[in-house]
Structure 1
Amino acid sequence: MTTYREYVALGDSHTADVLTGLPPNTESTPVRCDQSPTDYPHQVAAALAIETFRDASCGGARTVDMAGPQTVPFGVNPPQFDRLTATTDLVTIGIGGNDIGLEELLAECVNPKALDPAAVLPPEDSCVAEYTRSGVDRMADNIAAVAPKIAAALAEIGQRSPQARILVVNYLTVAPVDGTGCRPFIPMADIDVVYLRDTLARLNDMLAREAAASNAELVDVYTPSVGHDVCQAPTVRYIEGFVPFSIRNPGLIAFPLHPNAAGADFQAEAVLAAIHRG
C-alpha cells in the first residue's frame, strides 16, 4: 500500500462531523467551525500515521470558501485551499450541500402539524409545492448550477497539489430510501421526505459525475449507509434527527441531521477502504 505523508481534508459540516467530539478542534480552524477532533479526517490521519495533517473543514462551508476566507462567529477560517502545498499527496473533500441550499430545504420543510403522527397533511401543506412551483425544480436547478463549481474546485486542487490523490466523499443517507417518514421525529410530510431523498440522491450523482470527469475518486458513503438513516434506532442510524440523541456518547450529541459518532466512524472506514483498494 502506498504510504501518504501529507494529508489535507477539505469540506463542510459533514466532513467536520460537527459536535461528535468535544471540545471542538482549533488546531487548523476557528472554534465556531465546530470541527470535531474525532471527525473522519482525524480518524483517517491517525490510522495512516500521517506525518503532516491539516484539517481545514468547517461547518457551513461552500465551494467559495475553498479559495476564499469563511467568516464564522468569533473568527475567520482561512481559505481551505491555503492548507494545500506542492507536496500534499492525499486530499479528501466533501462539499456541495450548502451551495445547493440543503440546510434551507430542511428548515423550510419542517411542518409543526407533522408533530402529530395522526395529522393528515394535504399536499398544499408540503414544501415540495413551493420548491417545484411552475414545473421548475429549484433544488435540481441548484445542483446543476453548483456542478461547475465542484469541477473548478477539483481542478484547483490538482494544480496546487499535483502529486495528490484526490478523494471526493459524498453525503450519507439522511432520509429513508422508501420515502416513508417517521413523524414526529422528522416533522415533515411524507411527500417532503421523498423530495429530500431525491434531492440528496441527485446531489450525490452530480458529485460522482464531477469526480469521474476530474480524474478524482469517489468515496461512496451514501449507498452503503442505506438503512442507517435518521428514522432508524439510535443504535443503528448514522444521522441524527431534529432532536439528536447519542447512544454511544451520552454526553455528546451530533448536530441535527448531521453525522453522529457512528456516522463519522463509518465515513472513516469507507475512506480507508478506498485508500487501501488503491
Structure 2
Amino acid sequence: MPHRPLARAVTALAALVATTLAVLLVPGTAQAAAIHYVALGDSYSSGVGAGSYDPNTCLRSSKSYTSLWAQQHAVASYKFPACGGAKTDDVLNEQVGSLDATTTLVTITIGGNDAGFSSILENCRFGSESDCANRVNEAKTFATTVLPGRLDTTYAEIRNRAPNARLIVLGYPRLFETGSCGLLGMSKSKRIILNEAADLLAQVTADRAAAAGATFSDTRSYFAGHGVCASTPWIKDVTGLIEAYHPNADGYRLGYLPALNAVTG
C-alpha cells in the first residue's frame, strides 16, 4: 500500500508547482500590468527649456519629465502629444485622440496658457509695477471664475476617452526666489505677486483634479530654493524668449520627475 502522508505531500507539492507556473505564465495574474502611457499638456509637459527637441513646432524634448518617466519605467507604450503653448482647447481638439480604452496612465499640465501667464510674465519682466499687479489680478480672477470650468471639461473628456486610465494632474512650480536678484533681476514685489498667482493656480487645479477623481501632484516643494534668482536655478529667466520661465533640464529631472514618481510609486 502507498504511504498516504507521503502521497498527500507529493500531491500538494505538484499542485503548488502548477499554481506557481500558472502565476508566472498567465499575464495579469502576479506580473505587473503593462503601462500604456499618454503624456498630454502644455510646454511644461513637452519639456520646453530642457533642449534636445524633436523637429516639430511643439518643442517636445527627450529630457521632459514624461520622457524620463517612460524610460525609467519601461512602459509598454508611450504617446507624447503634449505641445508647447497648448491651452485646454488644444488638448481637447488635438491631443485626446491619442487616448483609448487601452491607456492606463495619463499625465497633464494645463491651464497656465489659458490664464495668459506667458504674456503676464513678459509684462512683469519689462513693464511697471502697477501694470504687473493689474495683469496678475486679472489672471487671478480668470483662474477662479473661468478656468475651473475649462479644467472640468478637459478632465471629463480624458476620462471619457481613457476610461481605464489613471489621470495624474501635475501643477506648476513657483517661478521665483524672493531674495537678492542682482541689478537686472525682476523686483522683489513683482516676484512675490507672481508666486502668489502660482499658488492660486495650484489650488484651483488641485481642487478640480480632486473633483474629477484625478491625482494632483504639487511640484512647488520640489522646486523650492531653485527658482529664478537662486544660486542653482532650475527655472530659466529671460535667457531665451521661448524658453523663458520654463524649467531647465535639471528642473525636469530633479523637480518634475520626482514629483511624478512620488504619486506613481
The structure-2 alpha-carbon separation of the partners of 1:17 and 1:181, relative to structure 1 and needing over 3 Å to count, comes to farther
> Which of 127, 134, 147 does residue 130 from structure 1 map onto?
134
8 A Cα contact 2:222 2:259, kept in partner: no
- Deviations along 1:117-138, one digit per CA (max 9) or x if unpaired, are xxxxxxx744234337xxxx31
1:25 matched to 2:24? The reply is no
Question: Structure 1 counterpart of 2:42, which letter?
Answer: D
- 1-structure distance, mates of 2:97, 2:187: 42
- Deviations along 1:137-169, one digit per CA (max 9) or x if unpaired, are 311111121111111111111111110000001
TM-score normalized with structure 2 length: 0.82
- 1-structure distance, mates of 2:74, 2:135: 46
Question: 1:38 — aligned with what?
Answer: 63
1:206 matched to 2:198? The reply is no
Unpaired runs of at least 5, structure 2: 1-30
8 A Cα contact 2:133 2:190, kept in partner: no
SS at match of 2:198: helix
- Deviations along 1:83-122, one digit per CA (max 9) or x if unpaired, are 111110000000011000100111111237xxxxxxxxxx
Question: 1:242 — aligned with what?
Answer: 238
- Deviations along 1:202-233, one digit per CA (max 9) or x if unpaired, are 00111111111111001111123211111112
- 2-structure distance, mates of 1:49, 1:258: 27
- Deviations along 1:235-257, one digit per CA (max 9) or x if unpaired, are x221111126xxxxxxxx99121
Question: 2:260 — aligned with what?
Answer: 271
- 2-structure distance, mates of 1:173, 1:213: 23
1:109 matched to 2:124? The reply is yes
The structure-2 alpha-carbon separation of the partners of 1:37 and 1:224, relative to structure 1 and needing over 3 Å to count, comes to closer
Question: 1:14 — aligned with what?
Answer: 44
1:84-123 equivalences in 2 (<5 Å): 84-111=99-126
SS at match of 2:39: strand
8 A Cα contact 2:42 2:83, kept in partner: yes
Question: Structure 1 counterpart of 2:88, which letter?
Answer: T
Residue 36 of structure 1, CA deviation = 0.6
The structure-2 alpha-carbon separation of the partners of 1:2 and 1:220, relative to structure 1 and needing over 3 Å to count, comes to farther
Question: Structure 2 counterpart of 1:61, which letter?
Answer: A
Identity among equivalent positions (%) equals 30
- Deviations along 1:18-69, one digit per CA (max 9) or x if unpaired, are 14132x225xxxx11111111111111111111111011111000000122x
Question: 2:97 — aligned with what?
Answer: 82
Question: 1:226 — aligned with what?
Answer: 224
Number of residue-to-residue matches in the alignment: 233
Residue 193 of structure 1, CA deviation = 1.4
Question: 2:215 — aligned with what?
Answer: 217
Unpaired runs of at least 5, structure 1: 69-78, 113-123, 245-252
SS at match of 1:33: coil
Q: Which has the larger radius of gyration?
A: 2
Residue 2 of structure 1, CA deviation = 5.2
Question: Structure 2 counterpart of 1:94, which letter?
Answer: T
The structure-2 alpha-carbon separation of the partners of 1:125 and 1:143, relative to structure 1 and needing over 3 Å to count, comes to closer
Question: 1:140 — aligned with what?
Answer: 140
8 A Cα contact 2:49 2:247, kept in partner: no
Question: 1:259 — aligned with what?
Answer: 247
The structure that is helix-richer by fraction is: 2
TM-score normalized with structure 1 length: 0.78
Question: 1:117 — aligned with what?
Answer: none
> Which of 169, 173, 188 does residue 190 from structure 1 map onto?
188
Residue 17 of structure 1, CA deviation = 1.4
